[in-house]
Structure 1
Amino acid sequence: MERMPARAVPAIAVVTGVPTVLAPGSVVAQVAYTAGFCAVVVLAWLAVRASTGPARLPHALIAGALTTWLTGDLLYLLLDWTLGGLGDVSAADGLWVLGYPLLAAGLLVTVRRQAPGRLREAALDGLAMATVVGTLFWQFMILPAFRDNALSPAVVVTAFYPFGDVLLFATGAMLVFAPGGRRGPLRTLLAALTITFLADVFLSVSPAWLADLGVDRLDAVLLLANGLFAAALWHPGMRDGTPVAADAERLHPARVVFLGVALLALPALAVTRITDDAIGRSTLLTAMVLLTVIILVRFTLVVREQERARSALAHRATHDDLTGLINRQDLHARLAAALDRGDDVLVHFLDLDGFKAINDRYGHAAGDFVLTEVARRLRLQARTGDTVARLGGDEFVVVTDSAVDAAAMAHRLRAAVGAPMPFDGHDLHVDVSVGHARVGPQYTTSDDLLAAADTEMYREKAGHRSRRRDAVAPLG
């Protein structure tokens, strides 16, 4: 049972549903249907038992919904056998209605696990569509029942079924709109939801059309839908619950079509004047206001997301990804602007000594840590108005006012960078060579200014190497 084929579950539902299609209402059909439904529920709970971790909760909710519907069927058979003539509603209706929120809760938890933190847009789109469908159900299914019949428990209980269908519709919309919502197991769940929703609607709005066909035949359709729900629980993608990558989200065509229908449906309903009474008009107005609010919230979220994306792109265009410092391109732009304005600035060109040895000995993670830590320390040494940039590799630039004492600033920078850097139980050390260049008439471009500071830096680095060689030379 650990490797139960997902396709075997709906196959069982199809086989056991055949008698219901061929001989609805017969004892054979009832026995086959009940046996098939019991098998589906047992297989669903076996899938729950085989699941582990966070996947168990949504599996249990879905299996619980199927169990609730099966219990309602068995209770109805028992009451009909013992009492007979149950009428339009019975105690079994309470169990059938309870299955809708249980199923919806299981599906919502499943979708949330598939796309954690990325369901806001899908939830709003699903709510918009559910508002339209709920309004249509209210106008054409619930209100007529209240108008044509005296208020009774049967009328009230019957009204709960359309609300359950609206809940399933909203859940199905989230399955479609959520990132990764069309993957294998979720496609199976969406197919089961679609079959259940259409069968319920068909049963609710077309009793006269089904008089000759036999309403009981639709039990086979619902049994197939329940088999698909149970089959999804055995799907490997459902059992591991691996979240969908963030880049998997795309604008699904159904989103545009569904939202377009949502925007047109309620105004079209108002124009037809089908709801030309106080309750109908007030309900329609409330739904239109709610839909408008949902769409405005959705629009605001889209605009803010675009603003954040543009801001992030603008930041990445001018900043180094690793350290967050100004990058080479923006540094040249700032220096060029300073030269054009005639600003007096002092460029400090820094190159790390010993960085390659850290990379080679401790790995690139340690190297990245050193670069980010150096960037942080350079920011602390900079004053308001100073510019700290990373040119690339282990080269940094600090631009200050020309009045700053170059030697004193170099000493501060060396002391800050040269302090130990604790990393993974090790104290990492790097030194830094610093070169300077002040703005002057000999520098006409930012390249000239940086090249001059770079040259001074290499002179200092050469001096460090010479002193190290002298320090280790043998005494003669």
Structure 2
Amino acid sequence: MRRVPAAAVPVFAAVAGSVSVFAPGTSKAHIAYLIGFAAVVAAAWLGLRNISGPSLGAYRLVCAALSVWLTGDILYDILDRIAGPLGDVTPSDILWLSGYPLLVTGLVKLVRLRAPGRQRDGMLDAAALTTVVAWLFWQFLILPAAESQRLSLGMFVGAGYTFGDVMLFAATAILVFAPGSTRGPARYLVAALTLTLIGDISISLLPTLFPELSRSGQADRFDGLLLLANSFLAGAVVHRNAAKVAEPEDTQAQQRLHPVRVVFLGIALVVLPTVTGLHSFGTFVSRASLLISIAMLTSFVLVRFVFVVREQERIKAALAHQAEHDQLTGLANRAALRAELELELFRASGFGPVVYYMDLNGFKQINDRYGHAAGDLILVEFARRLTSTIRPADTAARLGGDEFVVLATGVDDEPGARMLAQRLRDLAEEPIQWNGETLHFGVSVGLAAWGPLDRPSADNLVAVADAAMYAEKVARKQALAALVEAPQTSVGSS
């Protein structure tokens, strides 16, 4: 099916909504608005046919929000024609209010799809900023209206729209702060939410700031703005990359802290104390709401700070571990082994410490025949057997390839050293199963102790153990060669 260009939807809505801007309150403006809105909703539902995957459900909620808003407008017109001028509260308010949670739920689902398990920081930042905005709405919109009139259904409905705007602001903040791409359809969503907030707030403030304009029907000019906002929602649905809005960005982009995010959080921290200094709070309710908002904002910021500190500690610990350990096997690397050996030589006495240098027999043949995956399995399994055999005070290291070293500190004499060497050789007795194949390998072990040598350095001790291992490997190869040639010699001599 041919896709409608995303940019064409807001362009069409701007043309249809311009009638409301230049001729507010007229029947032509209202008809153009309804036709434009119906076309926008139809384009959104048709755009769903080009979307597949997990983001489809989220976009369905966006289309449902547009549909209930349009239904509310149509119902209002029908009731107005049947019953005449309507009051402050109508059945359409139920539909208009229900669109807010539908839209916010759809947007949150998109964020969860593109940042699975990584929404925490964005949610906390959005909650901090939303707390400030919610308090401003409460203090300067809801509370003055509640104090100037008795409790009524109309007052609660008006508060519901304000609460809906707070929900939209929270959704916008979450969409901006959460990891993932902010290009393509995401820009349409942010533009839609921003225009909706501007339109709703303007309509709410107009009767208070400019009552004469409200009475003359000038508020109808904002119908074009709201139509344009809804068209951006539909534009996000019909966008050719609509499904990609749920895909995360690269890892480096996810880890960067955007400067705008810092600016918004700074504004959130400054607004409450600034307003407190400039505005007097004469009622108990206004003072209580201020204290509650400050407590909530402080809690969000502190929790965010604790998570940041813990994440930094985790990263530092991970980097420190990587700097001292082999990534494949988890054993100590060459640098960590050298540091530990230097320390042991500084406090050495008697026979030890003892260095065991090991090289796997048959590893190259396994690697060449079965691939690196099989070779890595051999290395990881041998490292596991190694760590389960040595004592906690000993150090096991991988120098690279199939070369391993054990630094033993509790060996008191040569028989004990050779006994441990034999235990290390025995680690390769049991073969390893891999993809239905039985992998046999061995290990050659050479040792060098501090006591018998003339006070060696760390490098010298490792070199002596390496040489002893190499001698054992050569002797093993010679023994195998002699074993192969033995039957041929006996046949020839007979």
Shorter-chain TM-score: what band? over 0.9
Tell me, yes or no, if the aligned pair for 1:60 and 1:106 is still in contact at 8 Å. yes
Q: Which residue of 1 aligns with 2:421?
A: 410
What SS is found at the alignment partner of 1:206? helix
Length-normalised TM-score, structure 2: 0.92
- Deviation, structure 1 residue 22: 2.7
Match among 235, 249, 253 for residue 248 of structure 1: 253
Instruction: Give the unaligned 5+ runs of structure 2.
Output: none
Equivalent residue number for residue 434 of structure 2: 423
Q: Does 1:78 align with 2:78?
A: yes
Please state if 1:267 is matched with 2:273: yes
Report whether the alignment pairs 1:218 with 2:229.
no
Moved more, 133-142 or 335-344: 335-344
Task: Provide the C-alpha distance between the structure 1 equivalents of 2:61 and 2:227, rounded to a whole number of angstroms.
Answer: 18
Change (3 A) 1:236 1:398: farther
2: CA distance, partners of 1:55 / 1:395: 50
Tell me the secondary structure at the aligned position of residue 427 of structure 2.
helix
CA distance in 1, matches of 2:455, 2:52: 68
The structural deviation recorded for 1:425 is 2.4
Aligned residues of 1:443 and 1:449 also touching (Cα < 8 A): no
In the alignment, structure 1 residue 288 sits paired with structure 2 residue 282? no
Larger deviation, residues 341-350 vs 47-56: 47-56
Residue type of the alignment partner of 2:478: S
What pairs up with 1:64-75 in 2 under 5 angstroms? 64-75=64-75
Return closer, same or farther for 1:4/1:377 CA change in 2, 3 Å cut-off.
Answer: farther
Instruction: Give the fraction of aligned pairs with identical amino acids, expressed as a percent.
Output: 49
- 1:418–1:432 CA contact under 8 A, matched in 2: no
Partner-residue secondary structure (3-state), 2:4: coil
Cα distance change of structure 1 residues 389 and 255 upon mapping to structure 2, 3 Å threshold: same
Deviation sequence 1:300-327 (CA, Å, 0-9, x none) = 1111111111111111111111111111
Alignment-mate amino acid for residue 239 of structure 1: A
Does 2:120 match 1:140? no
d(CA) in 2 for partners of 1:234, 1:363? 47
The aligned amino acid for 1:216 is: D
- Report the Cα distance in structure 1 between the residues aligned to 2:369 and 2:248, rounded to whole angstroms: 36
Specify the structure having the higher radius of gyration (Cα).
Answer: 2
Q: Which residue identity does 2:249 align to in structure 1?
A: V
Q: How far apart are residue 106 of structure 1 and its match?
A: 0.6
**What amino acid sits opposite 1:466 in the alignment?**
Q
The letter for the 1-side match of 2:47 is A
Contact kept? 1:355, 1:430, Cα under 8 Å: yes
Contact 1:111 1:181 in 2 (8 A): no
Cα offset, 1:200, TM superposition: 0.9
In structure 2, what is the equivalent of residue 460 of structure 1?
472
Question: Secondary structure in 2 aligned to 1:150?
Answer: coil
Deviations 1:407-445 (A, max 9, x none): 332332222224221222222222111110011342432
1:230 counterpart (225, 229, 234)? 234
Partner of 2:164: 164
Residue 34 of structure 1, CA deviation: 1.4
Give the letter for the 2:229 counterpart: A
Give the deviation of 1:223 after TM superposition. Answer: 1.2
Conserved in 2, the CA contact under 8 Å of 1:47 and 1:59? Answer: no
Aligned to 1:442: 454
Structure 1 counterpart of 2:51 = 51
| CA displacement 1:196-231 (0-9 Å, x = unmatched) | 111111111123545468221211111111111111
Contact 1:175 1:181 in 2 (8 A): no
Q: Give SS of 1:427's match.
A: strand
Q: Does the CA contact (< 8 Å) of 1:421 and 1:427 recur in 2?
A: yes
**Bigger CA drift: 211-220 or 264-273?**
211-220
Distance 1:327 1:334 in 2: 11
1:234-292 Cα shifts (integer Å, max 9, x gaps): 33443143233332221111221111111111112222233221111011111111111
State the secondary structure of the residue aligned to 1:45.
helix
Question: Contact 2:53 / 2:243 at 8 angstroms: preserved in 1?
Answer: no
Shift of 1:358: 2.0
What CA distance in whole angstroms lies between the structure 1 residues aligned with 2:33 and 2:128?
Answer: 37
Conservation of the 8 A alpha-carbon contact between 1:181 and 1:187 = no
Most deviating of 329-338 and 374-383: 374-383
Q: Which amino acid aligns with 1:80?
A: D
> How far off its partner does 1:55 sit?
1.2
Q: Which residue number in structure 1 is paired with residue 379 of structure 2?
A: 371
Q: Could you say if the C-alpha distance between residues 446 and 5 of structure 1 is closer, same or farther in structure 2, counting changes exceeding 3 Å? A: same
Cα deviation 1:320-378 (Å, max 9, x = unaligned):
11111111001000000100111521111111122222222222222222211111111
Structure 2 counterpart of 1:331, one-letter code: L
TM-score for the superposition, normalised by structure 1: 0.96
Q: Which moved more, 1:104-113 or 1:405-414?
A: 405-414
Q: 1:383 to 1:40 in 2, by over 3 A?
A: same
Alpha-carbon displacement from aligned partner over 1:88-116 (angstroms, at most 9, x marks no partner): 22111111111111111111110111111
- Of 406-415 and 138-147, more deviation after overlay is shown by 406-415
The AA in structure 2 aligned to 1:123 is M
Aligned partners of 2:363, 2:241: CA distance in 1, in Å?
Answer: 45
Q: Is 1:385 paired with 2:390?
A: no
Which of 331, 348, 351 is the aligned partner of 1:325?
331
Look up the equivalent residue of 1:433 and give its one-letter code: S
Q: Find the aligned partners of 2:25 and 2:429 in 1 and give their Cα distance.
A: 88
Deviation, 1:297, is: 0.8
Show structure 1 runs of 5+ residues with no match: none
Query: Residues 10-89 of structure 1: matches in 2 within 5 Å?
Result: 10-89=10-89
d(CA) in 2 for partners of 1:454 and 1:248?
A: 46
Corresponding residue SS for 1:321 = coil
Give 2:377's aligned amino acid. Answer: F
Q: 2:362 aligns with which of 329, 351, 354?
A: 354
User: What is the letter of the counterpart of residue 48 of structure 2?
Assistant: V
Is the CA contact 2:3–2:47 (under 8 Å) kept in the aligned structure 1? Answer: no
Distance 2:240 2:444 in 1: 57
For 2:474 and 2:132, the matched residues in 1 are separated by 76
